[in-house]
Structure 1
Amino acid sequence: MSAAATLSDLERDALAELGNIGIGKASTALGRMLGGLVTLSVPSVEIVSPADVADLLDQALPPPLVGISERLGGLFAGCALLVVPQDGSLPLVRAALPPDIPAEDAPALEDEVLAELGNVVLNSTLAMVANLLGEPVDTGLPLVFRGPAAAILRTCAAAQLPADGTASVGKPEDAAAAVLFHVALRAALPGGEGTMVGGRVVLLLDAGSVQAFQATLGRFITRMVA
């Protein structure tokens, strides 16, 4: 049975709604960081085999790609990844930098800014989803990777192994399932500049986490329909 078949239509709809609420919180936080109006589209959700994630990202987003990842614990055990095209990320980086930063200093600060942007999106989204589900979620420090989707996923998953080696997601194919949130970011940046960035939020979940998450999602649905 494929990973895509592990959730029912009702569970997918509930997950999409939770993602929508979480993405809304992330857009507010991102707007404060960038100093402009930011809207993130209502996400569509796919539950797919980890082996298919790289191809789906390469088909959806123009290379080269940038990935910002965080190790996850609690409700979501595995790793989270925000993936955007490199070209689309650059205007966001420039907007996030203070106006007194010289242009020649911007390249040296790019990874630091991208890490913070990814941290805002991932933490805001996942914290809100976990709060609505009534379960804790822990996140690690953000890391930035560049390259084709397969290389980003491979490096991301390996880098998220904790020091005690207890995580089961050391390679993308080790994950039991991958959750893809498809989002489009529209930012009206200071100075009249506007940009549209397509992106994906990817959760690579281990086997125990998939089962626990599905059980938690089922309890959430029961509460909502009661």
Structure 2
Amino acid sequence: MSVVLNLSEDHRDCLQEVSNVAMGQAADKLARLLDTFVILSIPHIEVMKPSDIVMALHAVDVNDSISGVCQGFTGGGIAGEAILLFSDTSFTDLAKLMNYDDELDDQAERELLMDATNILFGACLNGIADQIDMEFSFGPPLVLGQHQKLSELFNVENARWDHALVTEINYQLEDYEVNCDILIVMTDDSIERLLLKLDYLLE
């Protein structure tokens, strides 16, 4: 029986708290760097199929043109993928906040996307790792696509998993048109090890 499908409410609550702390640390780092207030949602944790992710995020804004980056992570028997989805309307304000004065072409937006990825993924995933007494190593970040619809960015036919535990959080910058979603995706292969770590926190 799939471990991820049998996630208990205690485990879900514990993981939500771990994620909340880690993503709050990421928000704090971003806020200090950009000298602005970061608004973040409560982490949403759900067992999903690849098609569920598209539907869940479509509920945010089906008309958005977005750019996305993914980065794999692994350590101590846990592996997964972090995904950053960035609203294309965000680049102008993000460039302003990061004092980027050059022309805002696709390459410049790619650089800004990578900068945001490095800040958020590093702080968030290291925050999770610290709380469960692990250390993650990271693969190189990979641009999923730029200026695409969500359904184009996520080709569910290419998904390498049937079900996964997905933690989603939304970040917005107060008084600026900067909006992004982070997804942390963990599949069955990693969940059993993760649950053992959560059990230590629950005891």
TM-score of the pair, normalised by structure 2: 0.82
- The yes-or-no answer on 1:219 pairing with 2:200 is yes
1:131 aligns with 130
Change (3 A) 1:3 1:119: farther
1:196 Cα deviation from its structure 2 partner: 5.3
Task: Give the CA RMSD over aligned residues.
Answer: 2.7
TM-score of the pair, normalised by structure 1: 0.75
Name the SS of the counterpart of 2:59 in structure 1: helix
2: CA distance, partners of 1:49 / 1:14: 22
1:191 aligns with none
Which residues of structure 1 form unaligned runs of 5+? Answer: 156-169, 188-193
2:139 aligns with 140
Name the SS of the counterpart of 1:42 in structure 2: coil
1:96 aligns with 98
1: CA distance, partners of 2:2 / 2:189: 16
Higher helix residue share: 1
Number of aligned positions between the proteins: 198
More RCO (CA 8 Å, sep 6+): 2
1:17 aligns with 17
Are the aligned partners of 1:65 and 1:85 in contact in 2 as well (CA < 8 Å)? yes
2:52 aligns with 52
Are the aligned partners of 2:47 and 2:163 in contact in 1 as well (CA < 8 Å)? no
Are the aligned partners of 1:22 and 1:129 in contact in 2 as well (CA < 8 Å)? yes
Which residues of structure 2 form unaligned runs of 5+? Answer: none
Change (3 A) 1:203 1:38: closer
Counterparts of residues 66-145 of structure 1 (less than 5 Å): 66-74=67-75, 76-98=78-100, 101-102=101-102, 105-107=103-105, 108-144=107-143, 145=145
1:35 aligns with 35
Identity within the alignment, %: 22
Name the SS of the counterpart of 2:52 in structure 1: helix
